[in-house]
Structure 1
Amino acid sequence: MIDATVEAFVESRADAVEEAVRKAAADEIMPRFRQLAAHEVVAKNGPHDLVTVADREAEARLTEALTALLPGSLVVGEEAVHADPAVYDALQGDAPVWIVDPVDGTRQFVHGEPGFCTLVALARGGRLYASWTYAPALDQLAVAVRGAGATLNGLPLHAGSPEPGAVLRVATSHPDYTTPEQKRALLGLYIEGVAARPCGSAGLEYLAVARGELDAVAFNWEYAWDHAAGLLLVAEAGGIDLTLSGEPYRITGGNALPFTAARDEATARRVLELLGGR
């Protein structure tokens, strides 16, 4: 499938993708919000890395719906990769790939907080073409299409730039999910002139950057399902992303970490400088 075909699909079927995302959330996520039984929440790689029946069922529903919409496409979903890490290799191939995080912010979801979302992005050959960020408990849907801009509930998103001299607002990797070495890498942001705080749902933090409510994010993990949708959203809202080497983030991996996504280039480069990059 050539890139033009992927672009044509996005142009003609974006509404169908939105419907699939909304339906998966309505059928598999929201009925379980604040209704989870103890046995429906499981720790995967540690006490803070949670998965629920909603994550699994929503990903299964999205996998079925999205591959039916775009025959020949594959799905790289968080839960599928947890079960079989080789699934992640699809990002390196030639087929169109749906990158799915069924419940981004599972911790918030489990605690009955509304700050969670479903993330879907469509990529091919390492290039992002469209993304959907849906926060059902907040009634927010952000859509980004490569070269066509970003919207939130149908209204255009513009990241803008921070006010000159203003304190930079930056969300960073949450300490519960970082190693001691990773924590040290982020310490440069904890200085005067920067208001750094741990992130919540990564998808919603990217949305905050795209809305101009947050100046930047700084993360030191690179799983594509956490970042793909939000990176395109920020880019199409006028923002930028850079890794510690000064190069853009690659969804296929091998990035120099930490990396940032910011409202503008000057902010991104300031964050990288504080992180020890260039």
Structure 2
Amino acid sequence: MTEEFLSGTTGDPWESASLAQVEEAVRKAAAVEIMPRFRQLAAHEIVEKNGPHDLVTVADRSAEEHLTASLTTLLPGSVVVGEEAVHADPAVYDALQGDAPVWIVDPVDGTRQFVHGDPGFCTLIALARHGELLASWTYAPALDEMAVAVRGHGARVNGTPIRSGSPAPGADLEVATSHPDFTTPAQKEALLSLRTDGIHPRPCGSAGLEYLAVARGELDGTAFSWENAWDHAAGLLLVTEAGGAHLTLSGEPFRITGGNALPFTAARDEATARRIRSLLLSPQAD
């Protein structure tokens, strides 16, 4: 059922009605539930979940409810693993291990930016089954950018194909890294190893938009220390389909079902991913 959903009747995923319907559902959720609240939030509509760097708003919750209804209607028998639903009931996350197609939803990725009136936020949707990513949508409504990736069929932004390319030989690497609040002491030490010659680490913003920057070749890589699928699934497929790569500390690709050796990296190409991983491993070798 899932493959038929992706292929539509034409056999070309980029021409299929089903993919266009998902894009329309994402755009509508943003238009109805997110953008009317952008720069219009009242104080009582913003809540701290796990500290000042982990916020949720009425827009997050309303958009996830909207997307849950529309996406499961588009693909009968599918289920949703959404950030806010998992926060309310952690058992929801177990659906990633099940047989049903799963929509992985982050209604507002970059909630802190959204709350502060910064346009650097997005909605992330990925479709997976048996732990394998099949398609993803990264939509930045305030920037009017829609990135779509389909397994084996490449990545596009607003309909135009993108490729990550490789850094110029000998060039310093710009790497977006986890916020220190979301790291263990060992992970923090690993991330500090990126403060070395030839590497320019910086704090990440919206994870989804950082992945988009990697897929476009505007950012060389990421180094993230948390593994919530809603933050990473859409972007990892986008980077992969644009020609990039991702590696955990164990040397294996990141698994959306969890159990990854962290931190992990996504990068413009395999060589860059290996270089970042080797640096992240260096504290453990001491």
Match of 2:194 in 1: 189
Match of 1:67 in 2: 72
Match of 1:252 in 2: 257
Once structures 1 and 2 are overlaid, which stretch shifts more, 86-95 or 183-192?
A: 183-192
Mapping 1:57-136, distance limit 5 Å:
57-136=62-141
Query: What amino acid does structure 2 have at the position aligned with 1:59?
Result: E
2:165 is the counterpart of 1:165: no
Cα distance in structure 1, aligned partners of 2:100 and 2:65: 19
Matched residue SS, 2:181: helix
Match of 2:4 in 1: 5
Q: 1:267 aligns with which of 259, 266, 272?
A: 272
Cα distance in structure 1, aligned partners of 2:136 and 2:3: 17
Q: CA deviation at 1:155?
A: 0.5
Match of 1:206 in 2: 211
Q: 2:224 aligns with which of 219, 222, 229?
A: 219
Q: Is the 8 A contact 2:254 2:260 kept in 1?
A: yes
Matched residue SS, 1:189: coil
Match of 1:149 in 2: 154
Matched residue SS, 1:276: helix
Matched residue SS, 1:138: coil
Query: What amino acid does structure 2 have at the position aligned with 1:89?
Result: D
Matched residue SS, 1:48: coil
Deviations 1:144-195 (A, max 9, x none): 0000000011110100000000001100102233343321121111111001
Q: Is the 8 A contact 2:6 2:19 kept in 1?
A: no
Q: CA deviation at 1:99?
A: 0.1
Match of 2:44 in 1: 39
Cα distance in structure 1, aligned partners of 2:184 and 2:111: 20
Structure 2 alignment gaps of length 5 or more: none
Deviations 1:72-131 (A, max 9, x none): 000000000000000000000010000000000000000000000000000000000000
Cα distance in structure 1, aligned partners of 2:275 and 2:131: 27
Q: Is the 8 A contact 1:48 1:177 kept in 2?
A: no
* Percentage of matched positions with identical amino acids: 77
Query: What amino acid does structure 2 have at the position aligned with 1:219?
Result: F
Query: What amino acid does structure 2 have at the position aligned with 1:204?
Result: L
Cα distance in structure 2, aligned partners of 1:178 and 1:240: 23
Match of 2:247 in 1: 242
Give the structure-2-normalised TM-score.
0.94
Cα distance in structure 1, aligned partners of 2:24 and 2:276: 37
Cα distance in structure 2, aligned partners of 1:192 and 1:53: 43
Q: Is the 8 A contact 1:6 1:96 kept in 2?
A: no
Cα distance in structure 2, aligned partners of 1:53 and 1:265: 40
Q: CA deviation at 1:48?
A: 1.5
Match of 2:235 in 1: 230
Cα distance in structure 2, aligned partners of 1:186 and 1:248: 18
Q: CA deviation at 1:6?
A: 4.7
Structure 1 alignment gaps of length 5 or more: none
Cα distance in structure 1, aligned partners of 2:189 and 2:65: 37
Query: What amino acid does structure 1 have at the position aligned with 2:253?
Result: P
Cα distance in structure 2, aligned partners of 1:143 and 1:90: 23
Match of 2:55 in 1: 50
Query: What amino acid does structure 2 have at the position aligned with 1:147?
Result: G
Q: CA deviation at 1:47?
A: 2.1
Cα distance in structure 1, aligned partners of 2:208 and 2:78: 23
Cα distance in structure 1, aligned partners of 2:252 and 2:176: 20
Q: Is the 8 A contact 1:42 1:50 kept in 2?
A: yes
Report the count of equivalent residues: 277
